[in-house]
Amino acid sequence: MENKTTQQEVIQDADVISVEANETKTKSGFVWAAVLILLCLQAGSFWLWNQQQSFNENLTAAMTSIPDAATLEQSLSDVDSRIQKQLSGLDSQQISLADSIKDLSDSQQITRGDVEQYWALAEVEYLLNIANQRVLLASDVAGAREALEMADGRIEALSDYRLHPLRALLADEQLALSSVVNVDVDGMALQLQSALDNIDDLQVLMSSPLTEGDTDEALTSDNWQGALDQAWQEVKSLVVIRHQQEGAAAVLVAPEQRYFLYQNLRLKLETARFALLSGQPSSFEASLASASQWLKQYFVGEDRDAMLALVAELQSTNTAVILPDISESLSWIKGFER
């Protein structure tokens, strides 16, 4: 009995010791957790303190770099003084330039009348240039004469005795232009165009075809001579006889080739019209002569006669115009001291 009691006490003591050991372990774990939390809090506090110190240093540096009001005012004053110096320098340069212009004007003694005369003479030179170009490039006698008249009017308005030689030259040149034969080039070109429009109405010179009665009569002939005459007449009805100018053998042209006769005549008249408008009298006369010969050789009828009369009339017109030299007045005004 005593042994049992002793064993129970031993077991109870062991349980008590076990419970105390567990409590001791639990308290120790809480202590370590608390210590770890305290360390983390201390590390975070140190980091925040470090960041605050860095921010304060940057703010202090920025505040020290900003000038105070007195320094800023002094800088603005320096800039304003430099600008004022530059403006005063520009004013002095402008005054100096104005004085130079005044001195130049006083030395030249240019008046309003001098300026007007300068521009008037420049206009006269321009008109004389126009007159020479109209004569040399366009053979426009009327336009050149009108330009000379306008130039003479400008010179008359100036009333400058030094320009009297120029007016004398202009009078001579206007007289020379007035003596030029006036050729109605536009009217002649229109006449040629009318002839071109009526070429297709011309009748070509051809052998007349055999009639049906002549053919029947030839077929009933009993002799070989009649048959040969009939064959010859049929051959003649199929061709047109064209004699060469040199007297060589005749050339036979089929009726279907009459188109080339018309086109050749058209080419000759077109060439004459172009030569007339471009001022080539020799080519104009040669083309008209060739067209006249072509009309006489290959065409017949009243339309042909009317066209021949028109060509003869154009041939009788003298288109060789000799244009005078009117450049002397232009040379004179270019050498005039203004």
Residue 225 lies in a domain: no
Whether residue 160 sits in one domain with residue 248: no
Residue 76 lies in a domain: no
Please identify which residue in the block is written with the tokens 């042994």. 3
Q: Is the pLDDT higher at 282 or at 4? A: 282
Whether residue 286 sits in one domain with residue 199: yes
Enclosing domain of residue 131: 112-180+327-334
The pLDDT tens digits of the residues spanning 223-232 come to 445 544 555 5
Whether residue 141 sits in one domain with residue 28: no
Whether residue 196 sits in one domain with residue 126: no
Paired sense of beta strands 240-242 and 251-253, if any: antiparallel
pLDDT confidence bin for 6, thresholds 50/70/90: low
Show Cβ contacts of residue 141 under 8 Å, excluding neighbours closer than 6 positions: 134, 135, 177, 180, 182, 321, 323
Confirm whether pTM is higher than 0.75.
Answer: no
Give the single-character DSSP code of 246.
T
Whether residue 162 sits in one domain with residue 200: no
Whether residue 290 sits in one domain with residue 198: yes
Whether residue 197 sits in one domain with residue 154: no
Q: Which of 57-61, 94-98, 136-140 has the lowest mean pLDDT?
A: 57-61
Residue 160 lies in a domain: yes
Whether residue 201 sits in one domain with residue 167: no
CA dihedral 71, 77, 80, 82 (to 10 degrees): -90
Give the single-character DSSP code of 253.
E
Residue ending a domain, choose from 50, 70, 88: 50
Residue 295 lies in a domain: yes
The tokens for 60 are 């202090």
Residue 77 lies in a domain: no
pLDDT at 152: 94
Residue 100 lies in a domain: no
Whether residue 190 sits in one domain with residue 132: no
pLDDT at 72: 62
pLDDT at 78: 78
Residue 224 lies in a domain: no
Q: Which of 117-121, 202-206, 233-237 has the lowest mean pLDDT?
A: 233-237
- For residue 102, count other CB atoms closer than 10 A to its CB: 10
**Three-state secondary structure call for residue 241:** strand
Whether residue 312 sits in one domain with residue 255: yes
Whether residue 303 sits in one domain with residue 259: yes
Neighbouring C-alpha atoms within 13 Å toward the C-beta of 247: 0
Region 21-35 average pLDDT: 60
**Three-state secondary structure call for residue 194:** helix
- Residue 112 identity (one-letter amino acid): R
Torsion sign (Cα): 6, 8, 13, 18:
positive
Instruction: Count structural domains, the chain.
Output: 3
Torsion sign (Cα): 164, 165, 170, 176:
positive
Whether residue 278 sits in one domain with residue 245: yes
Residue 82 lies in a domain: no
